[in-house]
């Protein structure tokens, strides 16, 4: 499962990434800090938050 989180707050993104890594170690995590950046990395993403 590949997850993409789009959020403009770095502290939230870091905390969410840590939580996902602990709860779902097999998942891949990517982050984008704007919707434009998120659209640029959508290929192969299974879930966008």
Contacts of 16 (CB under 8 A, 6+ apart): 5, 7
What does the pLDDT read at residue 20? Answer: 96
What does the pLDDT read at residue 2? Answer: 96
Instruction: Specify the residue for token string 């998942």.
Output: 27
**Residue in 23, 27, 49 with CA at minimum distance from that of residue 38:** 49
| DSSP 8-state code for residue 4 | E
CA distances for 39 relative to 4, 15, 20, 44, angstroms: 10, 22, 21, 12
pLDDT tens per residue, range 8-42: 999 999 999 999 999 999 999 999 999 999 999 99
Report the predicted TM-score, pTM, of the whole model to 2 decimal places: 0.86
Mean pLDDT of 1-7: 97
> Hey, where are the domains in the chain?
2-48
Supply 37's token pair: 């950046």
Distance CA 19, CA 12 (A): 11
């Amino acid at each position: 499962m590949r997850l993409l989180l789009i959020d403009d707050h770095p502290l939230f993104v870091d905390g969410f990434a840590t939580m996902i890594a602990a709860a779902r170690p097999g998942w891949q995590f990517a982050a984008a800090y704007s919707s434009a950046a998120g659209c640029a990395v959508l290929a192969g993403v299974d879930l966008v938050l």
